[in-house]
């Protein structure tokens, strides 16, 4: 049985809490958030991680970047695996996760759906096959409440592109265009981000060649896909040695 503690009380954390009873091998022992949820949650609540004194195997974090950094420090000090789906992390905040990974297993993924993990693997392979001959555009659409743009998933897909090309992301990341694609030079990587309605998440990676275009698209139809992924990935992560993991490691996608 994997003993889980939830860090955050937003929509994603609540879906994890709601779906946890469907998983036979996990048990949620508590939830921590800065303010107590107004509605009734059948779970022990704590105002901070330091207030919790029990024993757990895994912390699932869906907060803000500062909260994720605090979670990484707490997990490293208490020997607890950390799975986080928080987006908008800076270089320094991701470095904090990698520091924690020297002591405990850590998995950071801006998108925990099985479909996005497969799409990311396909993008990496396509980028390797096409090389710098393809212009690549990543288009993403999310609900109007999402603040970061490009989305964490879009940036993760961009990293997959550059891994396929064996180049640093910064060498080819030309812009983060918000509403429309921009004219590209050869081999460039660009983004477009749209915020409207209650769209859960749509991502399309387009490989544009001289005479053809290839698209890889993923659409999330229900937010539960992320919560289910968090529970399954978390159960796997709790059994791993210290290290910095990805969804490709979890699903053995290479």
pLDDT tens digits along 36-57 = 777 766 778 898 999 988 899 9
Q: What is the pTM of this model?
A: 0.84
197-208 pLDDT, tens digit each: 999 999 999 999
Q: How many residues does the chain have?
A: 254
| CATH number of the domain to which 208 belongs | 3.30.360.10
Would you state the structure tokens that stand for residue 48, as one six-digit string? 């901070």
| CATH number for position 50 | 3.40.50.720
| For residues 160-166, average pLDDT | 90
Query: Same domain for 12 and 135?
Result: no
Angle between helices 91-100 and 65-78 (to 10 degrees): 10
- Reported as a pLDDT band with limits 50, 70 and 90, residue 181 is very low
Q: Mark whether 44 and 134 lie in a shared domain.
A: no
- pLDDT class of 152 with cuts at 50, 70, 90: confident
Range of the domain at 33: 2-112+223-251
Rounded Cα gap, residues 90 and 165, in angstroms: 23
Average pLDDT over residues 11-35: 88
Domains contained in the chain, number: 2
**Arithmetic mean of pLDDT, 81-107:** 94
What integer pLDDT is reported at residue 209 of this predicted model? 93
Catalytic residues: 142, 146
pLDDT of residue 186: 61
Closest residue by Cα to residue 15 from 222, 178, 169, 239: 222
């Amino acid at each position: 049985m994997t003993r889980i503690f939830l860090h955050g009380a937003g929509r994603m954390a609540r879906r994890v809490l709601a779906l946890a009873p469907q998983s036979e091998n996990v048990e949620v022992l508590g939830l921590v958030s800065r303010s107590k949820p107004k509605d009734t949650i059948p779970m022990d609540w704590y105002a901070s991680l330091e207030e919790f004194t029990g024993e757990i195997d895994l912390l699932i974090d869906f907060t803000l970047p500062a909260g994720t950094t605090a979670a990484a420090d707490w997990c490293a000090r208490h020997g607890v695996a950390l799975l986080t789906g928080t987006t908008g992390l800076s270089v320094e905040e991701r470095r904090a996760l990698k520091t924690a990974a020297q002591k405990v297993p850590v998995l950071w993924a801006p998108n925990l759906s099985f479909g996005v993990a497969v799409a990311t693997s396909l993008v990496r392979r396509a980028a390797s096959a096409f090389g710098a001959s393809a212009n690549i555009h990543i288009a993403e659409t999310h609900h109007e409440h999402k603040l970061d743009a490009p989305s964490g998933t879009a940036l993760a897909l961009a990293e997959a592109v550059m891994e396929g090309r064996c180049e640093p992301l910064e060498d080819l990341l030309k812009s983060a265009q918000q509403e429309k694609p921009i004219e590209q030079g050869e081999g460039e990587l660009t983004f477009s981000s749209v915020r409207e309605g209650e769209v859960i998440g749509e991502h399309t990676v387009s490989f544009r060649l001289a005479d053809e275009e290839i698209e890889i698209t993923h659409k999330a139809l229900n937010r539960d896909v992320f919560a289910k992924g968090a529970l399954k990935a978390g159960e796997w992560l709790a059994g791993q040695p210290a290290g910095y993991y990805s969804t490709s490691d979890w699903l053995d996608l290479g």
